[in-house]
Structure 1
Amino acid sequence: MTGRPTPPSAAHVDTVRSHHGEDVDDPFEWLRDKDDPDVIAHLEAENAYTRARTEHLAPLQDAVFAEIKGRTQETDLSVPVRHRDWWYYARTIEGEQYAVHGRIAVGVAPDRPELDPGLAPEGEEVLLDGNREAAGEEFFSLGAFDVSPAGDRLAYAVDTTGDERFDLRVKDLASGEVIDDAVRGIGYGTAWSTAGDHLFYTRVDEAWRPFQVWRHEVGTPAEQDVLVHQEDDERFWMGIGASRDDRHVILWLGSKNTSECRLLDAEDPTGELRVVAPREEGVEYDVEPAGEHLWVVHNRAHRDFELAVAPIGATSAQEWSTVVPGEDGVRMSGVEAFAGHLVLSLRREGLTQLQVLPLSGHGRPVGSGYQVPVEEEVYSIETGANPTFEASTVQVQLESMVTPRSVYDLDLATGGLTLVKRQPVLGGYDPADYQQQRLWATAPDGTPVPISLVSRRGLEPDGSHPGMLYGYGSYEISVDPYFSISRLSYLDRGVVYAVAHVRGGGEMGRGWYEDGRMELKNNTFTDFVACAEHLVDTGWVAPDRLAAEGRSAGGLLMGAVLNLAPEKFRVVHAGVAFVDALTTILNPALPLTVGEWEEWGNPLESADIYALMRSYTPYENIRPVGYPAILATTGLNDTRVFFVEPAKWVARLRETVTSDQEERPILLKTEMVAGHGGRTGRYDAWREASFEIAFVLDQLGATTPLLR
């Protein structure tokens, strides 16, 4: 006897799936029912096994946690942002899990207040103390935080389980009392009427699709709420919000390929929603109401989108006039309108950009404006919180893999940038101690694939280093270069950290997304393998010391590349992993499925799509060969990717792979009170991250910090 703990063995229960002439036995499908005591017992046994197999990592986990905590300024303050008569901000307090949201009257501080993070500011009005709200709860998340236009009421929505269904509360800010908690089980977001007497919110259906918007009169029973709109096309989701000037309630409706926007006069909450332009299949657009103009970013004329303007009362796309035409390879992702300028959000060659356009007295752009300058090779730039339409300066946020998140004031007229706050990193952090660069791998079809890489300065590509490769690659979501305090625990142990910007994401424009979805989905997986090979071939990573990580659809990526090229990796972390994709996409009753058919295809109707997904879905393609060490993490209450997917995957991996599972364990860790995002308290989240990092470092043989 070795004394090693024995992994749980999930029972086999025959369950047959039959589609397109194929019968597939799925012996672990019984794990889907979280109300079954046997399922809970199995998950708890998996957690016990994971604890036993990783108990030797406790000192390393504690060290990583201490590093994250020690580098974080625990008592801190966001940059105060002015909206009407108040400065709004959030602050954190050492030892507390959640932020305190507060404000100070402009009458007390005419200019942006310079506040001491360690003291409750003089004149502060606490809007919401997350620590008090979360008292006694293992999980706490906000789905809405919305101050009324007059500034006298706060609407906020709370989830205490992780299932992303929220209870709505309204607080009177003068008294601090909750005056309305009648509405339960809503979706994300709210919008106020101008008078602050009505709230709009969304409800989700049984498949967790936001499909209704309701109007609630504050102080009345929820049974009296009025249904404003119901979306019966199951492909479409909805979101609710307000325009920058609070004049309009905006309803966004969208599938993966098509969108529609509707506006409501916020001064007339019982009025009718007006369609800006009726939906056209394959046409996506977004709107920014501003004064008498409606700014529209759309793809009617160019797949990388363009900017148009229309009268505020427009009801048809025929009223749109092109302002900035589309450009191949330059993805236009949004516009923000201010009294004298427009700010366009773009991405070019895998990097984000901001373009500022001055407006004439008639509200039309004058000239081509200017691009906000950035000097680093890889970076991310975006607008921050800018609620004021009449602003002459706007908040811009800039960061890179070595530069902590930095908040600037951008003078719209001159283009001048003034640094307001840079994320503090304690413990003597110096960006000069690290190096970042952009690499390009070559996919099997010859396509160049960008990689963002960061390491300790002085590391040379000599073929000896441990490495971590992160990827996502779905839904046109981009993983832009960002700064991470927890990542420093990798870098300071000599790990080279890289992000593979694979197809299916949006880094290189709409075409990049289209080339990694539906029938071209395999490009996502082969791109990632090509990036892994490039890191090894160029000497940045040793061939036997490469880790990989992905979450959600990135977890699907992890499962697929493991089946495709398990020999390339030493260890893999798959978080809330979408690894049983075909089973999920075949069941239209499950959350997300119907809307996902435009991302993956519809395997119910198409035998070709069924065969394609069958060929790559991770759970069904595990091979009897050696695999790396694997850590799968999930949350019992995850609505987006059910816990059953990683649970089934781990059970089948253990039965199939031929690698020595004493040396390369296959582990499942389930948070029993959490959802898709994991633990919510910041210290709890750091503990979770430190466990995952410690597991990877141990497998890479990179547990000792480098000498400085």
Structure 2
Amino acid sequence: MQSNFALVSSVLFIATAGTTGAQPGDPPATEVRIVTDEVQGHSIADDYRWLEGDDAGNMTEELGEWTEAQNDYTRQVLDNIPGRDKLEARLRELLEIPLISTPSMYGDRYFYRTREGDQPQSIVKVREGIDGTERVLLDPEEIDESGLTTISWTAPNPDGSLMAFGMYYAGDENSTLYVMDVVTGEWLAEEIPGKVNFGQWLPDSSGFYYSALEDLDDAYSGIERFHKLGTHHRQDRTLFRQHDLSTFYGDLDLSDERLAELATTWGPWSMVSEDGKWILVGYWTGTSGVDLWSADLEHWFNTGELNLNTISIGREGRPGSADFDGDILYAQTTMGAPNGRVVAIDMNNSAYDNWTDIIPEDPNLVLRSAGFAQGVIAASYLESAQTRISLYEMDGAQIGELELPGIGTAGLSTSDDRTEAFLTFTSYNTPTSIYHIDLADHNAEPELWARADVPVDPDSIVVKQVWYESKDGTPISMFIVHPKDLELNGDNPTILYGYGGFNISMTPRFSSTMFPWFEAGGVYAVANLRGGGEYGAAWHDGGKNGEQTEYI
């Protein structure tokens, strides 16, 4: 998160120091019309109630005139700032940088997205083989010339010959599911409405599981279904509904108040094993807790009976990335481990107390994700607010570390049927770079697969990390970014940015629009405040509630 207003204002300050533009007159006057309300025995005066429009909140003629006058005055101020045109041209150039996503691998095909700087939506593409010719699968502008259609998600089948995808219009996010033949580009007859999210293909690709809303006007009407290709969605079989809490909690004596709370959480979700045998079912109990069950999905498929076996009820924490290997589920989780761990769950004996630690919690590192490849687990940690990736065998024996280009933020795209993977890396001075790697040979030099051309010189920028003491003596890390040839003498114009909240981590990421600031001689500092997620659950809790006076 970054304040673009602060960035532009600061750049303009440097560009206009010592200069004077045409000065506009006084701003348009705003008439005071006092309206007094009586609230619980107190008189409360509102001087500007008329600016809220009519009683229904609609724009009135006089409010429209006032708004137009304010906009005209604002434009006089902004348009007469010296250097503004030059900065605008530079920012437009920097905002038109093309984007490419990290590929996902299915069979011999590689799926990814691209977006040129002037394109309103990203395009879904595929390659046949790593060095194959790029081919467009879905272009939203070809589907809808207005540019208002968005491809929300894609889900290729195991061999990459079919691809389910979600599509919505005009930002409503109510995705409808479609399926296309990747080889021919033709769309199948499938069309499933209802804010659909994809679940899992059957091993033979004859059908798939998905979640949706039964009623688009009811955010808590979640439903999980199975669809067989070639049939109408009205024939789809239902596994469970959010409204039917007895499916999950029928054996528990919960109060009506608690049931009402559960009915309005994020609700249920599921994960299906690749062989179609098992289903892991979760139910969000709040923002930081999940109840878990397992079930024999083949039994449900054959009989219609979904017999849920309790894994964990009432615990804090949540599962993260996970992968099935036969009857064993490998999962990243914060349950019983606030900083995260990787566990193995035998689905035949899946109760929480039977979980096996594969990668135990590290009190000094925060496990952000786990990638599961063929015989390899890639654990992505935050260490001092920057990425560290450790590699392990499936039994937890450590293989080694992936060497990263420097201080930055990295991610991995893996597939459990190969050791081939894609590493994504970015930093304040490094545009997002995608490398093709082999986790079986982690010491090999990574091959650069894609990096956007940017009209800046990343080598002109230095990134370093320093520490300072907070009010209560707690060490706080901070990234400092500045031009390489700039002497830090205490007089440099500096943007100091900090965000401590919601477990969000401020890690190094490339932003092309910061470069006008650097080019003007500016320094950028980012403090890792408590309330964020850089140093685990305790760090996050340290920026909440009554602790906020100390967290900076």
TM range (shorter): 0.7 to 0.9
Shift, 1:68, TM fit? 0.6
Matches within 5 A, 1:584-623: none
1:186 matched residue in structure 2: 195
Distance 1:148 1:186 in 2: 20
Distance 1:315 1:24 in 2: 60
Q: Given the superposition, is the C-alpha separation of residues 236 and 425 from structure 1 closer, same or farther in structure 2, using an over 3 Å criterion?
A: same
1:374 and 2:404 aligned: yes
Distance 1:268 1:7 in 2: 73
Instruction: Say if 2:497 and 2:525, in contact at 8 Å, map to a contact too.
Output: yes
1:128 and 2:138 aligned: yes
1:489 matched residue in structure 2: 516
Give the secondary-structure state (helix, strand or coil) at the position aligned to 1:37: coil
Q: Given the superposition, is the C-alpha separation of residues 372 and 457 from structure 1 closer, same or farther in structure 2, using an over 3 Å criterion?
A: same
1:398 matched residue in structure 2: 425
Distance 1:371 1:22 in 2: 65
Distance 1:357 1:468 in 2: 40
Summarize deviations over 1:650-682 as a string: whole Å, max 9, x none. xxxxxxxxxxxxxxxxxxxxxxxxxxxxxxxxx
1:322 aligned to which of 338, 342, 357: 357
1:520 and 2:547 aligned: yes
Instruction: Say if 1:192 and 1:200, in contact at 8 Å, map to a contact too.
Output: no
Distance 2:226 2:447 in 1: 41
Matches within 5 A, 1:561-580: none
Amino acid at match of 2:78: T
Q: Given the superposition, is the C-alpha separation of residues 127 and 230 from structure 1 closer, same or farther in structure 2, using an over 3 Å criterion?
A: same
Q: Given the superposition, is the C-alpha separation of residues 447 and 66 from structure 1 closer, same or farther in structure 2, using an over 3 Å criterion?
A: same
Give the secondary-structure state (helix, strand or coil) at the position aligned to 1:413: helix
1:630 matched residue in structure 2: none
1:601 matched residue in structure 2: none
Give the secondary-structure state (helix, strand or coil) at the position aligned to 1:405: strand
Instruction: Say if 2:291 and 2:313, in contact at 8 Å, map to a contact too.
Output: yes
Instruction: Say if 1:165 and 1:187, in contact at 8 Å, map to a contact too.
Output: yes
Q: Given the superposition, is the C-alpha separation of residues 303 and 465 from structure 1 closer, same or farther in structure 2, using an over 3 Å criterion?
A: same
1:284 and 2:308 aligned: no
Instruction: Say if 2:38 and 2:44, in contact at 8 Å, map to a contact too.
Output: yes
Q: How does the TM-score come out when normalised to structure 1?
A: 0.60
1:164 aligned to which of 168, 173, 187: 173
Shift, 1:469, TM fit? 3.0
Amino acid at match of 1:230: R
2:240 aligned to which of 229, 233, 239: 229
Give the secondary-structure state (helix, strand or coil) at the position aligned to 2:446: strand
Distance 1:213 1:32 in 2: 44
Give the secondary-structure state (helix, strand or coil) at the position aligned to 1:345: strand
Q: How does the TM-score come out when normalised to structure 2?
A: 0.76
Radius of gyration: which is bigger? 2
1:67 matched residue in structure 2: 93
1:38 aligned to which of 56, 59, 70: 59
Distance 1:89 1:230 in 2: 33
Instruction: Say if 1:260 and 1:285, in contact at 8 Å, map to a contact too.
Output: no
Instruction: Say if 2:108 and 2:159, in contact at 8 Å, map to a contact too.
Output: no
2:78 matched residue in structure 1: 54
RMSD of Structure 2 on Structure 1 (CA): 4.1
Summarize deviations over 1:225-266 as a string: whole Å, max 9, x none. 554333461234555666678876665543322124556778
More displaced 10-residue stretch of structure 1: 23-32 or 430-439 = 23-32
Summarize deviations over 1:536-585 as a string: whole Å, max 9, x none. xxxxxxxxxxxxxxxxxxxxxxxxxxxxxxxxxxxxxxxxxxxxxxxxxx
1:257 matched residue in structure 2: 288
Instruction: Say if 1:301 and 1:326, in contact at 8 Å, map to a contact too.
Output: no
Amino acid at match of 2:400: Y
Summarize deviations over 1:87-139 as a string: whole Å, max 9, x none. 3233445754333322233xxx4xx2165xxxxx4xx3x321133234214x4
Distance 2:72 2:295 in 1: 53
Amino acid at match of 1:259: V
Matches within 5 A, 1:97-108: 97-105=120-128
2:452 matched residue in structure 1: 424
More displaced 10-residue stretch of structure 1: 285-294 or 338-347 = 285-294
Q: Given the superposition, is the C-alpha separation of residues 222 and 522 from structure 1 closer, same or farther in structure 2, using an over 3 Å criterion?
A: farther
1:88 aligned to which of 97, 111, 119: 111
Distance 1:98 1:134 in 2: 11
Q: Given the superposition, is the C-alpha separation of residues 143 and 80 from structure 1 closer, same or farther in structure 2, using an over 3 Å criterion?
A: closer
Summarize deviations over 1:474-514 as a string: whole Å, max 9, x none. 22121210112222122112221222211111101121111
**Larger strand percent:** 2
Distance 2:149 2:74 in 1: 25
Distance 1:353 1:484 in 2: 21
Summarize deviations over 1:175-234 as a string: whole Å, max 9, x none. 544445743341655543443434412338757568443444555555555543334612
Gaps of 5+ in 1: 116-120, 528-708
Q: Given the superposition, is the C-alpha separation of residues 331 and 92 from structure 1 closer, same or farther in structure 2, using an over 3 Å criterion?
A: closer
1:534 matched residue in structure 2: none
Instruction: Say if 1:149 and 1:196, in contact at 8 Å, map to a contact too.
Output: no
Instruction: Say if 2:391 and 2:401, in contact at 8 Å, map to a contact too.
Output: yes
Amino acid at match of 1:68: L
Q: Given the superposition, is the C-alpha separation of residues 16 and 299 from structure 1 closer, same or farther in structure 2, using an over 3 Å criterion?
A: farther
Distance 1:314 1:24 in 2: 63
Gaps of 5+ in 2: 1-22, 246-261
Instruction: Say if 1:13 and 1:28, in contact at 8 Å, map to a contact too.
Output: yes
Q: Given the superposition, is the C-alpha separation of residues 99 and 333 from structure 1 closer, same or farther in structure 2, using an over 3 Å criterion?
A: closer
Summarize deviations over 1:351-402 as a string: whole Å, max 9, x none. 221110124xxxx23x3321222363x311221x22x312123222222211
1:306 matched residue in structure 2: 341
1:465 matched residue in structure 2: 492
Percent of pairs identical after alignment? 19
1:434 matched residue in structure 2: 461
Instruction: Say if 2:175 and 2:194, in contact at 8 Å, map to a contact too.
Output: yes
Distance 1:193 1:15 in 2: 63
Summarize deviations over 1:395-429 as a string: whole Å, max 9, x none. 222222112222223332332241323523344x4
Distance 2:39 2:360 in 1: 49
Give the secondary-structure state (helix, strand or coil) at the position aligned to 2:79: helix
Q: Given the superposition, is the C-alpha separation of residues 273 and 522 from structure 1 closer, same or farther in structure 2, using an over 3 Å criterion?
A: farther
Distance 1:213 1:522 in 2: 45
Distance 1:86 1:202 in 2: 28
1:153 and 2:175 aligned: no
Instruction: Say if 1:210 and 1:239, in contact at 8 Å, map to a contact too.
Output: no
Distance 1:300 1:446 in 2: 30
